[in-house]
Structures are given as C-alpha cells and as structure tokens.
Amino acid sequence: MVDQGSGVDIMYPDLFKGLKLGLKDLTSYDSPLISFEGKAITSKGQIRLPVQSGSETVDVDFIVVNAYSSYTAIVARPWLYALGAVSSTLHVKVKFPSGRLIEEILSNQSVAWQCISAAVLHQTESESSASAVADL
C-alpha cells in the first residue's frame, strides 16, 4: 500500500518473517507510532532494505511493527521521495523517472478490495471479541 500521508514506511510481521529476518537484524526506533485506529503502537525496531520498483532500486528504512494488517508493508513519503515518484490515488498508480523514461506501477483493484475486506472483517471480529470479554 502507498500512503502519501505517512512519514514512515511500515513493515508487518508476515513480510518480516517471510524475509527470514530476526530481531538481530533491527536497529532501535524509539518514536511513537499511531495506527489507523488511533492507537499507539510500539515498534520492534527499524531495518534498511533495498526495494526494487520497476528497474529502479532504492534503500528504504522500514519500521517493523507487531500489529495486524492485511498488507505486508506500507510505503510512504520517504519511499516516494527516494524514488522521485508521484502517486495518484485517483488513477491508482505511481509514476517515477528512470533514466530517460517514466515508469509506472499500477495497482491491482481486486487485491486492494481483498485487503480492505480482510481489514474490515478483522476489525469486526476484534470488536466482537472485546464485547464478549466485556460481557463477562
């Protein structure tokens, strides 16, 4: 996911584990983060990794969090700036210069809807669980 409003690039547990990374690979990151729900999230740390976008590769500092997300990562303004990219939510694409060409990354609408549906379902299940616990 591309979040033009965020100042940090986020990596979630599925991607962190899938890349076979461990806590030893992280450096400390002490700034507080606020989730989409407005809750404070403590990071596990920070890691710099190369991210290939089309024919370009840029180093990205990901903040690793242990929180649920239907996304594996969120790239934000730091990634956009490093790539020299322009993101359009209206057109659901990112364009960036590559040598003498302009490359673009297109979104997959069906995958985006699957992520949104999964997030809504997870939130509904979490609220139901919290309500059931409160009823005890």
Superfamily of domain 2-106: Acid Proteases (2.40.70.10)
pTM: 0.75
Show pLDDT as tens, one digit a residue, over the chain (136 residues).
788 878 899 999 889 999 999 999 999 998 888 877 788 888 999 999 999 998 999 999 999 998 877 788 889 999 999 999 999 888 888 999 999 999 998 876 666 666 566 656 655 555 544 443 333 3
Question: Quick count: other Cβ atoms within 10 Å of Cβ 44?
Answer: 18
**Domain coordinates of the chain in residue numbers?**
2-106
The tokens for 123 are 């939130």
Longest dimension (CA), the chain: 64
